[in-house]
Structure 1
Amino acid sequence: MQLLRYCVGLDISKDSLQVCLSVIDADGRVVVKGSTKVANKVTTFGQLVQWVTRHRKLDDLPLRYVMESTGVYHEAVAWFLYQHDQAVSILLPNKAKHYLKSLGYKSKNDKIDAQGLARMGLEQQLTLWKPLSKNIYSLRMLTRQHQRFQELKTQCRNQQHALDYSALGDDFLVKQNTKLLAVYDQQLEALERAIQQLIKDDEVLHLQVKRLIAIKGLALLSVAVLIAETNGFEGFTNQRQLVSYAGYDVIENQSGNRSGKTRISKKGNSRIRRILHLPAFNAVRFGEPTCQALFERVYQRTNYKMKAYVAVQKKLLLLAYAVWRHEVDYNPSYFMSQSRIGKKIVPTSGTTQDQSTVVGLSFG
């Protein structure tokens, strides 16, 4: 029996790690080699590696660790394994959940989940995880804090509106809400300054952000969220992966003669869709050529403005991805001219590039 590779499934909770080591052979059979449980603490992660080494009889076979992204509880062990040169894959919980259902398990517990993750890592080609850089990790915490405060501010304003129009007002509550709104405004301004300073202190990040905010509709905060939530667009090899990650991929509902509604999946990072909502309006309002043309085309075809604005959101995401990935300055007039295909172009940075090197031709 020829063995091919090992995989360690980790079912992670706040306090513990349920571990399962499995191996697959050339015939596709998966065999569990051992299971254990360790505490979810940095001091015990070394014991985890030692346990895997003892039960892994063939050191020359590839080994991978597979886990779900469970809030922040998986981050410590993922960082530890990555720093010790271990291959790590992190899955979205819904993807792992549907895979386990497909195996026909009727029961559910930590041990079964760990076995399922190990089996999934053996049977599928999963993407290797790469951690955020320190600055992008800090940027993500700042932008998410900004979102939380903005949501609290909106909630407070709605409460204030309800008090203003209620039959019996309460001056004490009105004063409290007024003070809270002032605090939220102060903290939001402080967060925006911190985001701006972090980007300014990183020379590479500052240059890339400067290129992105040249796209009409995208401001500093929206660009910061895009960078933070996509890890600087790291790990995306094509546009389809990015579109799916953000939840803009299209779901069809058709069978035989029946044709249901076609919509976006929304199975992705909701923070990206949230931050691109207002920039899409601004891109059309202020005449971003590519976005405005797309809006008019989709609106004319569907007669739904929001469908057209969602298409513009997707367009802005892909434009940002193109500019970031190829490190070129944004030239809005270029995307409006299909007659330039195959010719030389001159980006605004002054360097001459072949048309094929500047992405975005397929965004229309």
Structure 2
Amino acid sequence: MEKRLKQSLGIDVSKLNLSLSLGFLTDTLAKEFLSHEDVSNDVSGYKMLLKWLKKSVDSSVDFLIVMEATGVYHQGIAHYLHDKGYAVSVMQSGRVKRYAQSLDQRSKTDALDSRMLSMLGLERNIRLWQPPSEELQQLKGLSRERSSLLKDRTVETNRQGAISCSVHSNSKALKRHNNRLKLLKAQIAIIEEEMQELVSKSEELERKIGFLTSIPGISFKSAAGVVGETLGFESIVNAKQLTSYAGYDVVLRESGNFKGKTRISKRGNSHIRAALHMPSMTCVRCNPTLKVFYNRLKPKKAKPLVALVAVQRKLLILMYTLWKNEEVYDAKFETKKQQKHEALAAQDNKLIAQLVS
């Protein structure tokens, strides 16, 4: 009988159902799969899944559960299985899509997707998922609610301006728009107060957000928005992954005589890009590091916006670095870094000269 080396359960998550595929990797590197009928995406379905796992999984072999991040619909099953002691990995959709493309799988069904996720768990070393703190999840929800209300406020402001400038303006309609604007502004103020209160209750969160707000041009609301969207950079392991997650990764398309232009992919979290737009405009005026960077880059680009997007990308990486290293922003960091490199180069040149002589 072939020995099993690894086990992996792939779960394709939808709003109502979970599609399941349990895979085994044998010592001959062959893959075997067991399927189960779909279960509901609620507690009763979770219990049915748990009962099946206890019958089918070998407790002496490494076991991993793999699922794709699907908005909020994966959170229930991910938290449930993690609380039961299982190793869970929640994959970003972009990485799963690239793996699926490598399989040359033409059809797409829930059953095939769950099997593909199971194969991914068998073949790759995947970073395990840890539930984010309740504070960070609440901060993310508040930040998104605030962003939605800001968009509504802009719409209402534009409508109010159009009505007031109209030849046949309606005073009653204008009054209703004013009331809606007052309500939106009041709700935005309440949300911002709740964000401040939430952060102040966590000493660690307040301290680490303080590192980000030490950057000239970054306000508390901008810092809280980025931290909430990344859940405290919990699943980020390096700057390259972060820029890809936010859609700031640069792509270039060329084929034969066709020469495309470089641009950001925008295949990432649009809320992060929106949160950094206004701070980047402030940074190019008051931030000593990013102002120099922007002024150096701007003449080389066809549009100033391209240089501004580059500032946003650099700003995001700077925020990530300060958060991970738990450091306050140092305006002279680049100068010190350059001086250090020059000193090391001088030492190398001196050593080479001594060896030659």
Structures share a fold, TM > 0.5? yes
2:16 corresponds to which letter in structure 1?
D
Deviates further, 96-105 or 1-10: 96-105
Residue of structure 2 in register with 1:131 after alignment = 131
Is the 1:213–1:219 Cα contact (8 Å) retained in structure 2?
A: yes
Aligned partners of 1:250 and 1:265 also within 8 Å = yes
Read off the aligned partner of 1:227 and give its amino acid letter.
V
Q: Is the 8 A contact 1:20 1:36 kept in 2?
A: no
- Counterpart Cα distance in 1 of 2:6 and 2:168: 70
Aligned to 1:326: 325
Cross-structure match for 2:194: 194
Please, which moves more after superposition, 92-101 or 299-308?
92-101
Cα displacement (A) at 1:106: 4.0
Shift of residue 123 of structure 1? Answer: 2.4
Give the corresponding residue for 2:84: 84
2:145 aligns with: 145
What does residue 117 of structure 1 align with? 117
Per-residue Cα deviation, 1:113-142 (whole angstroms, up to 9, x for no partner): 222221222223333222211111111111
* Residue equivalent to 1:313: 312
- Of the structure 1 ranges 108-117 and 173-182, higher mean CA displacement relative to structure 2 is found in 108-117
Matched, 1:51 2:52: yes
| 1:1-364 aligned within 5 A | 1-56=2-57, 58-166=58-166, 168-256=168-256, 258-286=258-286, 288-341=287-340
Aligned length: 342
Note the C-alpha offset of 1:163: 2.4
Map of 1:357 onto structure 2:
none
- If the length of structure 1 is used for normalisation, what is the TM-score? 0.87
CA distance in 1, matches of 2:184, 2:62: 51
Could you say if the C-alpha distance between residues 88 and 298 of structure 1 is closer, same or farther in structure 2, counting changes exceeding 3 Å? Answer: same
If you compute each CA radius of gyration, which structure gives the higher value, 1 or 2? 2
Structure 1 counterpart of 2:30, one-letter code? R
CA deviations 1:78-102 (Å, max 9, x no partner) are: 0011112211122234543454454
Runs of 4+ in structure 1 over 6 Å off: none
The 1:26–1:289 alpha-carbon spacing in structure 2 relative to 1, beyond 3 Å, is farther
* TM-align CA RMSD: 2.1
Offset of 1:37 from its aligned partner? Answer: 2.0
Report the secondary structure of 1:276's partner residue.
Answer: helix
Q: Secondary structure at the match of 1:35?
A: strand
Q: Normalized per residue, which structure has more helix? A: 2
Distance (whole Å) between structure 2 residues aligned to residue 19 and residue 131 of structure 1: 22
Contact 1:294 1:311 in 2 (8 A): no
- Name 1:358's counterpart in structure 2: none
Q: Distance in 1 between matches of 2:317 and 2:101?
A: 34
Q: Quick one: structure 1 residues 69 and 319, their matched pair in 2 at CA, closer, same or farther if it must change by over 3 Å?
A: same
In the aligned structure 2, how far is the partner of 1:213 from the partner of 1:49?
Answer: 45
Alpha-carbon shift at residue 212 of structure 1 (Å): 1.4
Task: Give the corresponding residue for 2:355.
Answer: none
- Aligned mates of 2:248, 2:229 — CA distance in 1: 15
Deviation at 1:240, TM superposition (A): 1.0
* 2:272 counterpart SS class: helix
SS class of match (2:332): helix
Amino acid in structure 1 at the alignment position of 2:146: H
Q: Quick one: distance in 2 between partners of 1:100 and 1:35? A: 21
- Uncovered stretches (5+) of structure 1, i.e. residues with no partner: 345-364
Residue identity over aligned pairs, in percent, reads 33
Looking at structure 2, the residues matched to 322 and 235 of structure 1 have their Cα atoms a distance apart, in angstroms, of 14
Cα displacement string for residues 238-277 of structure 1 (whole angstroms, at most 9, x for unaligned residues): 2111111111111122345542110111111111111000
Letter of the 1:170 partner, please give it. N
Whole-angstrom distance in 2 between the partners of 1:21 and 1:172: 63
Structure 2, gaps ≥5 residues long: 344-357
